[in-house]
Amino acid sequence: MSFIKTKDGTEIFYKDWGKGQPIVFSHGWPLSADDWDTQMMFFLNHGYRVIAHDRRGHGRSSQTADGHDMDHYADDLATLTAHLDLKNAIHIGHSTGGGEVVHYLARHGESRVAKAVIISAVPPLMVKTAANPGGLPKEVFDGFQAQTAANRSQFYRDVAAGPFYGFNRPGAKVSEAVIQNWWRQGMMGGAKAHYDGIVAFSQTDFTDDLKKINVPVLVMHGDDDQIVPYADAGPLSAKLLKNGTLKTYKGFPHGMPTTEAATINADLLDFIEQKDLRKAG
């Protein structure tokens, strides 16, 4: 298996398959690089180099006690891209990974990056504040932390079987294999990383980060997202980006890269293969 070591000694696991223009995938909480299997196989078969890492404390990476914040997540991603000497890369982030991508671009610059995509992503800000009245109350995330600390196995099972993939909706086609794979990935990681990560994804304000980004960014969000509610996320991020394009999916859930992979993959490929996406003026 492939690992890099960060400056604080954390070992980050990554996959690196194929040749061609690199596509780098950043996963959601509390998952791992495995959550991108469908996308990695799709783009590998379309002639791209595909790369995905396990965030610190997640999957096969070190279960370090510290550093579970967006600064470290972005810095770890920068360490990986520098180690692999990536150029003209496309960065794709889902949920918390969308925040990681946005913070990476704003914090480390765009010299290695051609485009980015954020899917069902947490920016601009999830938690409700005076400046963000449409956010979710902090008590919601406090409850996530309490459940993670008390019995995360049951909590993860409930999230996967319910709101994450919209399996709690009438008429939903529930996949036990998808539920078990979500649970498996979550339980591979460390409880401390996942506990702290809830604060990172819910309380980080990405407003200024979004304003700094110049490369074309596709913002993909389902309007039936029960994890990162649509109205306070996708549309607001697209407005803050200089070259943002919002694509809204009617009835799609938070985990749409898995449940609606054919649609999402086709739209990702279309965006990646477009030549000039910068807005005039």
User: What is the rounded distance in angstroms from the CA atom of residue 73 to the CA atom of residue 135?
Assistant: 23
Alpha helices in 206-276 (DSSP H): 207-212, 234-240, 256-259, 261-273
Using one digit for the tens of pLDDT, what is the confidence trace for 97-145?
A: 999 999 999 999 999 999 999 999 999 999 999 999 999 999 999 999 9
Catalytic residue list contains 95: yes
Which pLDDT score, from 0 to 100, does residue 275 have? 80
List domains and CATH numbers for the chain: 2-273 (3.40.50.1820)
pLDDT in tens, 235-272: 999 999 999 999 999 999 999 999 999 999 999 999 99
91 flagged as catalytic: no
The three-class DSSP label of residue 5 is: strand
Instruction: Determine the straight-line distance between the first and last CA of the chain, rounded to whole angstroms.
Output: 46
> Which one from 32, 61, 95, 237 is the annotated catalytic residue?
95
Give tens-digit pLDDT for 20-49: 999 999 999 999 999 999 999 999 999 999
Contact 68, 57 (CB under 8 A): yes
Residue 54 annotated to the active site: no
- 182-207: pLDDT as tens digits: 999 999 999 999 999 999 999 999 99
Mean pLDDT (the chain) is 97
Q: What is the pLDDT of residue 276?
A: 56
Identify the active-site residue in 68, 72, 103, 254: 254
Q: Provide the sign of the torsion angle of the four alpha carbons 181, 168, 259, 248, taken in this order.
A: negative
Instruction: Evaluate if residue 281 carries a pLDDT over 60.
Output: no
Of residues 194, 225, 232, 237, which has the active-site annotation? 225
